[in-house]
A and B are shown apart, each in its own frame.
Chain A
Amino acid sequence: MTELQAGQGAQPLEVPRIDARPQRYRDLLIALAAFSVLALLPMVFGSKQLLDFVIRCAAYGLFATSLNLLVGYTGLISFGHGMFFGLGAYGFGLMMQKTGVPIPVAFVATLAITFVVAVVIGAICVRLKEIYFAFVTLAFQMLIHSTILSWQSLTGGDQGLRGGIPRPPFLGIDLSNHLHLYITSCALLVIGLLLMRQIAQSPFGYTLRMIRDNATRASFIGIDVWRAKLVIFVLAALFAATGGIIMALFVSGAYPEFAYWTISGEGIFINMLGGVTTFLGPMVGTVLLLILNDTVTRLTEYHGIVLGIVILFFAIGLRKGLMDFVVEWFAQRRGEGRG
């Protein structure tokens, strides 16, 4: 048989084409369902504590998921992502306190400021590899933290932004009303997650995965690695800032701790806890960490030890996040069922 004949006999290679559209509709449906469940929650359980918990989950969840765009999808281990969380909280709080513009305007303006800062910082950071990247982002985080501490006339120094953030009603939404704040936070969370999901599933998202797995190869086939990294760095910063804005609205203030490195550390830990291989892993991690934090602080004053042991259990014992574990377990079971 000649080569030509062999070629004729062969089946045409089937290129696995994932049609993006059905998946996009599915994501949208899931998002709508999630939002309706969250929105109906206050009618079933009236407890303020539960709603507070969900609002905190929204703030940290947006932050952690955006960090996963960097850590999990692009392989950029940022140890300073919390700076954008703090920037969002402070930017929004200051804007509301000093200028008195409507909330949507302040929201957009805060994101615009974050955008500019993230472009400048990102342009410097994404040049660097692995551990150096982690350090420089950490250094920028501390730079912003120490700026907040020292610029007392503007930020209130170590006391934070006090006196409350004015929350004038807009379009019939009154964010000083707890229920309105709750619904708005949920909406921001769901929209944010949906947008990030779109980014992760887009061709650009797959470019990021490729950069993570083999940056040299990516650059070889003509991808501008530096630019792709910068774009995702800035996008992730915007979502982190949104988390910060929710936090500022929730506590009606902003504190230097929001910009401290521990926020970034917690973000990394949340990602680890939930797992970085699934999109919703960080969200699961957020819920777990907040529950863990709340129960442990209630039980003992030494919550660092308990938290540390839990981290060790995941890092050394399980060697992966919870969602990674669950997904693998399901895959294995399915495999067994077929075999």
Chain B
Amino acid sequence: MIFVDLDALASCLASPACLVTQTTSGLIIGMLLFLVAVGLTLIFGVLKVVNFSHGAFYMFGAYFAMTAYQLSGSFALAILSGAVGTALLGLIFERAFMSRVYGRDVLMQLLVCYAFVLIFDDVVRMIWGPEFKSMGMPAAFQVPPLFIAGGVVPPYYLLLIGVALVAAVVLGLGLARSRIGKVIRAAAHNPGMVSALGINTGLIYGGVFALGGMLAGLAGALAAPVRSLTPGMGFSVLIESFIVTVIGGMGSILGALIGALLIGLIRSFGSLGFPLFTEGLMYLFMVIVLVSRPTGLFGKEVA
């Protein structure tokens, strides 16, 4: 029973091969987390609700992708259906249920989401069965891994990191520069004013929720070839993305990116140094950040 194994950590830090392997595995954990967490933080920033059922969208993204891949054999279609399917789901969920609890108690919002965590998990269990499923690596990526400085890097990891980076850049630029981005930011700031200017805020709220759902679904679809699929798979991701958003600061996209990468690296290197306490390490890190900066690394002071 090894609780702390600092030798393993030190010897890995000394070897470039191990360093590359661990860093890439940290990066893919971080990038997947970023996609989930950024949706969470976006929804919180604009709608002021915490989507406690966000993990379900990640789960649905993975299952949609698996089914689409099994039906069509096309990996691109699998990713697409994961993202689009969850976007639709997010839109329906927001319009039908979440929109009823805006401005109400945090308790109510948490409860509605808690109800859907239970419902969604069971829906997946009904449709796809309770057992572990796996989508399998698409044929295009069944190639020998790359070796960078002696470290093993599967090509699929590069695709995953690339897609997530593109999503991050598009999202960041879109919010900062485009007209829709400006409207969204305005709605986050003062929804009453935005709606007085003749803009349908309900539509924006639904759209933001759909966008958040889509990003989580994309993460799920991208994760489907490398992780096993099971009902309830969303929850651990949800908890981790909470940690990410809380560390980075609720409502901050840059914060979500930095937080996600930090958590990814903590996970991959922590599993060497503290094999049994990797999760505890994340919580510890979160507590430290929150105690020193209650609004997170990049969060704004909430009035």
Query: Are A and B physically bound partners?
Result: yes
Q: List the interface of chain A (C-beta within 8 A of B).
A: 71, 77, 79, 124, 127-132, 134-136, 138-140, 142-143, 146-147, 149-153, 261, 265, 268-269, 272, 302-305, 307-309, 311-312, 314-316, 319
Beyond the given A269-B111, A305-B119, A309-B115, please list 13 additional residue pairs across the A-B interface where CB-CB is below 8 A: A127-B291, A134-B110, A138-B242, A143-B280, A143-B287, A151-B276, A261-B239, A268-B111, A268-B114, A272-B107, A307-B115, A308-B115, A314-B111
A265 and B118 alpha carbons, distance in the complex (Å) = 11
Interface centre among A131, A311, A315 (most CB of B within 10 A): A315
**Would you call B279 and A128 a contact (CB within 8 A)?**
no
A150 touches B3 (CB 8 A): yes
Query: Does B114 lie within 8 Å of A302, measured CB to CB?
Result: no
Contact among A128, A142, A269 for B239, CB-based, below 8 A: A142
Residues of B within 8 A of A261 (CB): 239
Q: A139 contacts B283, CB within 8 Å? A: yes
Query: What's the Cα separation between A151 and B279 when bound, in Å?
Result: 13
Residue of B107, B114, B118, B122 near A71 (CB, 8 A) is B107
Contacts of A315 in B (CB 8 A): 101, 108, 111-112, 115
Residues of A within 8 A of B50 (CB): 131
Of B97, B110, B242, B284, the residue contacting A312 (CB under 8 A) is B97
> Contacts of B114 on A, CB cut-off 8 Å?
265, 268-269, 311
Docked complex Cα distance between A140 and B287 (Å): 8
> A272 vs B106: C-alpha distance in the bound complex, in angstroms?
12
Task: Assess whether B246 is in contact with A309, with CB atoms less than 8 Å apart.
Answer: no
CB-defined contacts of A146 to chain B, threshold 8 Å: 277, 279-280, 283
User: Which of chain A's residues have a CB closer than 8 A to the CB of B246?
Assistant: 132, 135-136, 139
Contact among A150, A265, A268 for B276, CB-based, below 8 A:
A150
CB-based contact A268/B110 at 8 Å? yes
* Complex Cα spacing A271 to B122, Å: 23
In Å, the complex CA distance between A124 and B284 comes to 12
B125 at the interface (CB under 8 A from A): yes
Chain B residues whose CB sits within 8 angstroms of the CB of A153 once the complex forms: 1
- A142/B294 contact (C-beta < 8 A), A131-B50, A304-B118 known: no
Which residues does chain A contribute within 8 Å of B164, judged by CB atoms? none
Q: How far is the CB of A82 from chain B (nearest CB, A)?
A: 13
> Contacts A312-B112, A315-B115, A316-B112; is A304 near B122 (CB within 8 Å)?
yes
A-B contacts, 7 of them at CB < 8 A, read A135-B242, A139-B243, A304-B119, A309-B119, A311-B114, A315-B101, A316-B112
> Cα distance A86–B277 when bound, in Å?
18
Shortest C-beta distance, B30 to chain A (Å), equals: 18
Complex Cα–Cα for A241 and B125 (A): 34
Interface members, chain B 187-242 (any A CB < 8 Å): 239, 242
Distance in Å: Cβ of B42 to nearest Cβ of chain A: 16
For the complex, give the distance between the alpha carbons of A138 and B114 in Å.
14
Question: Are B119 and A134 in contact (CB-based, < 8 A)?
Answer: no
Q: A305-B123, A308-B116 are in contact. Are A316 and B101 (CB under 8 A)?
A: yes
Choose one: A131, A150, A308, A309; the contact of B250 (CB below 8 Å). A131
B121 at the interface (CB under 8 A from A): yes
Give B233 Cβ to nearest chain A Cβ, in Å.
Answer: 15
Q: Are A316 and B277 in contact (CB under 8 A)?
A: no
Q: Does B100 contact A (CB under 8 A)?
A: yes
Interface flags, B255-292, vs A, CB<8A=1, else 0: 00000000000000000000011011001101100110
A4 to chain B, nearest CB (A): 46
> Does A150 contact B294, Cβ atoms closer than 8 Å?
no
Chain B neighbourhood of A302, CB < 8 A = 122, 125-126
B30-76 residues with Cβ-Cβ distance < 8 A to A are 50
CB distance from B198 to the nearest CB of A (A): 29
Please give, as numbers and ranges, the residues of chain A lying within 8 Å of B277 by CB-CB distance.
Answer: 146-147, 150
Of B116, B121, B294, which one neighbours A132 at CB under 8 angstroms?
B294
- The verdict on A147 contacting B111 (CB below 8 Å), with A305-B119, A316-B100, A316-B101 known, is no
How distant is B281 from chain A, measured CB to nearest CB, in Å?
Answer: 9
Bound complex: CA A261 to CA B108 (Å): 18
In whole angstroms, how far apart are the Cα atoms of A149 and B236 in the complex? 15
A143 partner, pick from B100, B118, B284, beta carbons under 8 A: B284
* Also in contact, A130 and B106, with CB within 8 A (given A269-B111, A315-B112, A316-B97): yes
Residues from chain B with a CB closer than 8 A to the CB of A152 are: 1, 276
CB contacts (< 8 Å) of A305 on chain B: these are: 118-119, 122-123
User: Roughly how many angstroms separate A46 CA and B116 CA in the complex, as a whole number?
Assistant: 39
**Which A residues are in CB contact (< 8 Å) with B101?**
315-316
Which residues from chain A contact B283 at a C-beta distance below 8 Å? 139-140, 142-143, 146
CA distance A309 to B276 in the complex (A): 37
Are A311 and B1 in contact, CB atoms less than 8 angstroms apart?
Answer: no
